């Protein structure tokens, strides 16, 4: 399975949703356990990630595993396998450029897949509201890297803009001239 995820989209500092979709795309083609159940968990929690870890676990317990309590979920053998598998999938798909995250995963979140995903969501995904201002400023100072084509530069800017809560509006030079904007 590691080969399937080795070619999957790697998490960078700006592509959380693309990374998440890449994981779901790979999981879609795997029908054996615990991967099938992991797919169900990923689909279920996608909209719950803004909640606390306890609330997310309650949601998984009730919706995916049909259990009454988080304690039952934590004692469930299939959940234990799913959570370890989730950790492995996450670890395999984090870009080496985010060395600090790889180190944190390996040292403080080993086999705690849900905790790792929540951490990534809150620090690299839509849950990182505190870094939105920094990213908004960064996009304004971005410059084309050496060896980067104009197309690659434009794609990178669009990718950064896609991660912002408030998008920078596209400008139309034709209407800007007509309206007096410069």
pLDDT for res 19: 93
Per the CB < 8 A criterion, the answer to whether 8 and 22 are in contact is yes
pTM of the model: 0.69
- Residue 13 belongs to a domain: yes
108 & 151 share domain: no
Could you list the mean pLDDT of each consecutive 10-residue stretch along the chain, which spans 182 residues? 78 90 91 94 92 94 96 97 96 91 91 94 75 50 75 72 58 51 52
CB atoms within 10 A of CB 111: 15
pLDDT for res 121: 92
161 & 80 share domain: no
Q: What's the structural domain count of the chain?
A: 2
153: domain range? 129-166
- Residue 28 belongs to a domain: yes
76 & 96 share domain: yes
- Residue 176 belongs to a domain: no
CB atoms within 10 A of CB 7: 10
- Residue 48 belongs to a domain: yes
115 & 94 share domain: yes
pLDDT for res 130: 42
Query: Residue 132 and residue 115: Cα distance in Å, rounded?
Result: 22
pLDDT for res 127: 67
Exposed/middle/buried for residue 31 (C-beta within 10 Å: 0-12, 13-18, 19+): exposed
55 & 73 share domain: yes
Longest C-alpha distance within the chain, in Å? 66
Query: Residue 74 and residue 166: Cα distance in Å, rounded?
Result: 38
60 & 138 share domain: no
- Residue 83 belongs to a domain: yes
- Residue 57 belongs to a domain: yes
- Residue 178 belongs to a domain: no
3-state secondary structure labels for all residues of 120-182: HHHHHCCCCHHHHHHHHHHHHHCCCCCCCCHHHHHHHHHHHHHCCCCCCCCCCHHHHHHHCCC
């Amino acid at each position: 399975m590691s080969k399937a995820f080795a070619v999957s989209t790697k998490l960078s500092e700006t592509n959380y949703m693309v990374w998440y979709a890449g994981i779901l795309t790979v999981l879609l083609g795997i029908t054996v356990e615990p991967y099938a159940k992991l797919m169900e968990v990923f689909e279920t929690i996608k909209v719950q990630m803004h909640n606390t870890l306890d609330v997310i676990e309650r949601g998984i317990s009730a919706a995916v595993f049909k259990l009454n309590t988080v304690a039952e979920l934590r004692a469930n053998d299939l959940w234990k396998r799913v959570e370890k598998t989730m950790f492995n999938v996450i670890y395999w798909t984090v870009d080496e450029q985010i060395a600090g995250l790889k180190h944190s995963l390996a040292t403080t979140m080993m086999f705690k897949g849900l905790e790792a995903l929540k951490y990534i969501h809150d620090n690299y995904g839509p849950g990182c509201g505190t870094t939105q201002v920094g990213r908004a400023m960064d996009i304004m100072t971005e410059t084309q890297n050496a060896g980067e084509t104009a197309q690659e530069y434009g794609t990178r800017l669009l990718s950064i803009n896609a991660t912002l809560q408030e998008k920078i509006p596209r400008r139309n030079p034709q209407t800007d001239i007509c309206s007096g904007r410069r």
